Amino acid sequence: METPYQPITSEFRQQIDALIERKKYVGILYFSPLHELLSTTSIIKEISELKGVPFMRLVTGEEIRLDQVVNIDGIPAPGYDIEDFTCDC
């Protein structure tokens, strides 16, 4: 079952837009629709909407809902702290 979309902040959206303009590989940490924490490295091609929900489209063809992003290029998404996903080992 898909969770309702939670809008992201305009500041975070601007940061994503800036990364799109740079056309460089970035690390992306995000939750899958099954709530698995996944990581990928790719170039963000564009942001598009599907049924009113914004998705990041990567050059690999992957699509990631913006509200499922945890961290992009070392920038934590709103609601997450950089230390939320670090190892205390």
Measured between alpha carbons, how far is 63 from 57 in angstroms, rounded to an integer?
Answer: 5
Say what the pTM is.
Answer: 0.85
Of the candidate CATH numbers 2.30.30, 1.10.3470, 2.60.40, 3.30.70, the domain formed by 10-78 belongs to 2.30.30
CA dist., res. 3 & res. 16, Å (int) = 22
Assess whether pLDDT exceeds 90 at residue 36: yes
Nearest to 24 by CA among 74, 86, 69, 81: 74
The pLDDT of residue 4 is: 87
Position 74 pLDDT exceeds 80: yes
Domain coordinates in residue numbering, the chain:
10-78
